[in-house]
Structure 1
Amino acid sequence: MWISDIERIHHRRLHFLVVGLDIEWRPNFTRNIQNPVATLQLCVGRRCLIFQLLYAPYIPQSLVNFLRNPNYTFTGVGIKSDVGKLVEDYNVVVARIAELTTMAANAYGVRKFKYAGLKTLTEEVLGKEVLKPKRITMSRWDNQWLTRPQVAYACIDAFLSFEIGRVLISGNYY
């Protein structure tokens, strides 16, 4: 339903749709062991989808097709490793990605942005401050029922990935 709504609302710009993307998984403090992706977060405008991959009996074909659409640009920080983890854990492919740190470094001519996180990019590109409490970032993303703060955090990360991407792409820094 989320995908249908997005494609209906944004039908005039589907050939250059920007989608914020992020993932979360259970933190692991043991070397050489990586937990699978637990949630996939997507955002277009003010509409976010938090999809719990870990508990899905299958990944809907509509979601697979959405992620594989070469007309859509998925934006995020560390997006290459995120989509690599989606392929590795679920064999889910994302067709077209844009790394926000590279875009911001090119847009502003500031080399250090290549190593920035979402919090820094939010401050620099959007002029807004965002809180990223460790108790949420390092929480149990593999729980079947996410807490309200987890859902809010997941939406905010996906929204900021979208909004920063939208700003940078509209300035033709892509």
Structure 2
Amino acid sequence: MSERVERVDEQDRELGVVDRDEAIRNRWLHRVATVVCRDATGRILVHRRPGSAARFPGQYNWMLGGAVEAGESYADAAGRELAEEAGIRAQVRFVLKFLCHGTISPYWLGLHEAVIEGDLTPDPREIAWHAWLPEPALREALDQWPFVPDCREAYARYVALPGGHRSSELATDP
């Protein structure tokens, strides 16, 4: 059995708790939390998934994240995923939420940011390679490297924010 997630509607209202694999198989809306990691200079963490990963093997991403478990907030899930995938704990800040049609299934994506101080301890089952890229290098990489398809839409929405993703003010988690 996989993770238990909340099946939600088009307004992100809970309909019930289901198995995540069932939600994906039936294309039911559920919630995913992601976190964009920045260092003190503003560079963004980019990583490549292992070739053995069940989903998107060998592809790159500029976000860490995963399913929001039943009863969990987007922010709590983002913090948990950051710890699980990168081996670090940091305060996450809500940036935006949108309905992503998704390559394998639709879902609500809650995007957060965290400023990372210190070294990562990546889980090799999640991260095969990583580097910190300035935004111009990330934009170039998005055009050239095989990125997870859903992260392209998230990036377009993220950079379209009027300076909101660089704000030091904490936003309210939905």
TM-score, normalised via structure 2 length: 0.32
Between Structure 1 and Structure 2, the one with more helix by share is 1
Structure with bigger RCO (C-alpha 8 Å, 6+ apart): 1
